[in-house]
Structure 1
Amino acid sequence: MTITIVDYNVRDYSHDKYDVVFHSETIHTLVTHTPSMVDAWLSNLPRNSHTSNSLVGLDVEWLPNRQCNMDNPIAIIQLCINRECLVFQILRASFIPQSLVAFLENQGNTFVGVGIEQDVEKLLRDYSLRVANFLELRTLATQRLGEYVRGAGLKTLAAHVLGKDIEKPRRITMSRWDNFKLTPQQVQYACIDAFASFEIGRILYDSRV
């Protein structure tokens, strides 16, 4: 697998910027806990007047629940459209911007991911955020590719649909997603998950019959 990450070393308390290179793709990534930066990212997304439905890769991460009675809240939300990725540290934010609320509730956006129903339920439970229109990638892949991918995870779907390998090291999966400063490895992991979800969704969505 070819994945590298470039840190722009932004000396700004409000955000960090990275270029995450995944095989031949470069994903421009904004990491922030600042509501105004989320506003700016959403307002700068390219608008295609000929497309009524925007596909969005969606994923979330939280501090692992290490006891059966724990239910840690979502720490970050990842959104990806084309080669633009937002990692919003919602747990660290002073408030949730209305622009994000409206974006998630927009019926014209279709959010895609693996296990997305559980993520959507947790967003509602933790932050009263409603995702109006979402699609499970495993369901879409099963319809398109067959029953053998019904229970597949993101790594397996990426191999079958994108022909690309994704590393998901447990030490990152189980890391402190509630940290104020995410490590480059965490940023890379979070970005790739959202980007791969978008790309898989785009290919499968476009190839529906």
Structure 2
Amino acid sequence: MKGTATQALPSELPPELPPYLGIDLAQVRLVRSDADAQEALAALLAADVIGFDTESKPTFAKGEVSTGPHLVQLATDQLAFLFQTATPAGIALALTVLQPVLASSSILKVGFGLGDDVRRLKSKFGIELRNVLDLSTALRRRGEKNPLGARSAVERFFGQRLQKSKRITTTNWSLPRLSEKQLQYAADDAHAALKIYRRWKADTPAV
């Protein structure tokens, strides 16, 4: 179709948003030992709010039931802790942290689209999550009907673009060794939620 006088010229189009850089990989902790678990437990129990998310190996076959979550991500303001739960040994180690932290009523857990995460954690591990805030609905403005996703929230609060590559989203999260891109993606999901919550509360006038 030929252009018309009413179409915006390329120079008039809004500039592409700068990328959301996310948490530094040096601040991401993959919990693989008792010492790692104790570090994570101490840091998470000392927090008032933590970012929260899970990842599961995708299912492609008709009728296939997910065995996830295979990775659980919890983030403080400074660190992101990743727990691999694809093996019995990994589950046993993870639960030493996940059970007391996720069941705590004094620690607020925030994230996006948490309904499925909460159900799977209860079904697979028997964890009853307490004090959970789903930002997908909490951040909706008056008149908005659709839940707000993490990408839209990063754009709204930080004016940045959160990378959500389908290639990473649909990778195998049950692998014993995760790539740096998987670690970055998973950590950002939890940490970005916490950053967005902090900005939202800072921008909200006190009653």
Q: TM-score, normalised by structure 1?
A: 0.78
Structure 1 letter corresponding to 2:144 = Y
- Aligned partner of 1:66 in structure 2 is 60
Does the aligned pair in 2 maintain the 1:141–1:149 contact within 8 Å? no
Determine the C-alpha separation between the residues in 1 that align with 2:128 and 2:35: 20
Taking a change above 3 Å as real, the CA distance of residues 150 and 2 of structure 1, as seen in their structure-2 partners, is closer
Taking a change above 3 Å as real, the CA distance of residues 55 and 94 of structure 1, as seen in their structure-2 partners, is closer
Structure 2 unaligned spans of 5+:
1-18
Determine the C-alpha separation between the residues in 1 that align with 2:107 and 2:147: 25
- Aligned partner of 1:169 in structure 2 is 165
Identity over aligned pairs, percent: 22
Deviation at 1:34, TM superposition (A): 3.2
Structure 2 letter corresponding to 1:3 = L
- Aligned partner of 1:197 in structure 2 is 193
- The number of residues matched between the two structures is 183
Structure 1 unaligned spans of 5+:
7-17, 20-27, 49-53
Structure 1 letter corresponding to 2:61 = Q
Does the aligned pair in 1 maintain the 2:20–2:160 contact within 8 Å? no
Taking a change above 3 Å as real, the CA distance of residues 149 and 29 of structure 1, as seen in their structure-2 partners, is farther
Structure 2 letter corresponding to 1:199 = K
Does the aligned pair in 2 maintain the 1:138–1:149 contact within 8 Å? no
Deviation at 1:56, TM superposition (A): 1.0
Determine the C-alpha separation between the residues in 2 that align with 1:173 and 1:100: 23
1:188 to 184, 188, 191: 184
Deviation at 1:189, TM superposition (A): 0.4
Structure 2 letter corresponding to 1:198 = L
2:37 aligned with 1:38: yes
- Aligned partner of 1:24 in structure 2 is none
Taking a change above 3 Å as real, the CA distance of residues 120 and 80 of structure 1, as seen in their structure-2 partners, is same
2:85 aligned with 1:90: yes
2:107 to 109, 115, 128: 109
Computing the radius of gyration from Cα coordinates, the structure with the larger value is 2
Q: Map of 1:114-133 to 2, 5 A cutoff?
A: 114-133=112-131
Taking a change above 3 Å as real, the CA distance of residues 149 and 200 of structure 1, as seen in their structure-2 partners, is farther
Q: TM-score, normalised by structure 2?
A: 0.79
Deviation at 1:132, TM superposition (A): 1.0
Determine the C-alpha separation between the residues in 1 that align with 2:160 and 2:106: 29
Tell me how large the CA RMSD over aligned residues is.
Answer: 2.3
SS of residue paired to 2:144: helix
The one of the two structures with greater contact order (alpha-carbon pairs below 8 A, sep at least 6) is 2
Deviations 1:11-43 (A, max 9, x none): xxxxxxx32xxxxxxxx1101243541222221
Deviations 1:29-81 (A, max 9, x none): 10124354122222145847xxxxx1111000010011242222211000011
Determine the C-alpha separation between the residues in 1 that align with 2:40 and 2:151: 27
